[in-house]
Amino acid sequence: MERDDVVAPLVDAIRMLTHAELVDYSGHASTRRDAVSFYINSGASIRPIVTAADIVAIDFDGKPVDAGSTTDSTVRRGVSPPLEFPLHAEIYRARPDVRAIMHTHPKWSTLLTMTGVPFRPVYPQGALLGDVPVFDSPLSVNTREMGERVARTLGAGAALLLKSHGAVVVGATVVECFALAAYLEENASRQYLAMQIGTPYVFSAAEQQLCRERLATPGLFKKTWDHYFSKL
Ligand SMILES: [Zn+2]
């Protein structure tokens, strides 16, 4: 696929993540380029108005690749990947099935980690996240060693929370990854609100399984994407 075809949905996703307040002035999203490299928004990019020129292609050591295309001009302008690129690199290295990763700073999901409240599925789409482990450090994931620890904590899962910091969501496509990132925060906000008036009902294992079978579909992911896209 051409660079533009791969990068365009990534740009849309970052704008939507910002619009939905899942990403603020930092936070980043990436999509796999090949077995050894990926596209990611630059550390300096202004998230709500990010464009294809803000996307850099780097290998798992953070070195620019793809010179000769748009990235060539971005490299000349000194555009660098975010400091936390090892978070993406080490998940791609460990998980060949992952083709998109989003690191967000969502308020409600992070609030749960600040107080040690485990994420629990309390609405149907929340079940699609499965078990969401918590990475036991609030610090920036900016070394290969930390990236490897994050990848190990994520395991084969779809998401993990970084204590008092943010969330990491992965997917087989940018559309799926975006939808899961939205569901994660929506579930956490509902869980938090329910806790203000009582003990939230947590979906049983059988209910979670049914939700996954019925809702983890490309059709629902695209519908979720289109919903957020229409609000840009
Ligand atoms: Zn972060």
Q: 23: CA distance to ligand 1 center in Å?
A: 9
> What pLDDT does 216 receive?
96
CATH no. for 3-229: 3.40.225.10
Q: CB–CB of 50/79 below 8 Å?
A: no
User: Each residue of 38-87: pLDDT tens digit?
Assistant: 999 999 999 999 999 999 999 999 999 975 555 444 554 558 999 999 99
> What pLDDT does 79 receive?
83
Q: 164: CA distance to ligand 1 center in Å?
A: 10
- Ranking 77-86, 158-167, 184-193, 210-219 by mean pLDDT, the lowest is 77-86
> What pLDDT does 76 receive?
46
In the chain, domain spans: 3-229
Q: 103: CA distance to ligand 1 center in Å?
A: 7
Percentage of the chain surpassing pLDDT 90?
A: 91
Q: Which residues of 196-219 are buried (b: 16+ CB within 10 A; e: fewer)?
A: eeeebebbeeeebeebbeebbeee
Q: CB–CB of 160/132 below 8 Å?
A: yes
Q: 105: CA distance to ligand 1 center in Å?
A: 6
> What pLDDT does 71 receive?
47
Q: 199: CA distance to ligand 1 center in Å?
A: 30
Q: 141: CA distance to ligand 1 center in Å?
A: 7
Is the pLDDT confidence value at 17 over 80? yes
Dihedral angle of Cα 18, 21, 26, 28, to the nearest 10 degrees: -60
Q: 166: CA distance to ligand 1 center in Å?
A: 6
Q: Which two tokens stand for residue 215?
A: 């809702």
User: Each residue of 20-37: pLDDT tens digit?
Assistant: 999 999 999 999 999 999
- Ranking 12-16, 78-82, 185-189, 206-210 by mean pLDDT, the lowest is 78-82
3-state secondary structure of 190: helix
User: Each residue of 124-139: pLDDT tens digit?
Assistant: 999 999 889 999 999 9
Q: Which of 19, 15, 76, 77 is nearest to 41 (CA)?
A: 15
> What pLDDT does 173 receive?
98
Q: 115: CA distance to ligand 1 center in Å?
A: 18
> What pLDDT does 69 receive?
53
113 phi and psi, to 5 degrees? -70, -30
- Percent helix / strand / coil, the chain, rounded to 5: 50, 15, 35
> What pLDDT does 110 receive?
97
Q: 198: CA distance to ligand 1 center in Å?
A: 31
For 66-72, which contacts have Cβ atoms below 8 Å and span 24 or more sequence positions?
Answer: 66/3, 66/33, 66/37, 69/3, 70/3, 71/3
> What pLDDT does 2 receive?
83
Q: 128: CA distance to ligand 1 center in Å?
A: 23
Q: Which of 198, 203, 141, 189 is nearest to 168 (CA)?
A: 141
d(CA 146, CA 156): 17
| 102/74: higher pLDDT | 102
Q: 207: CA distance to ligand 1 center in Å?
A: 32
- The whole-chain average pLDDT of the chain stands at 94
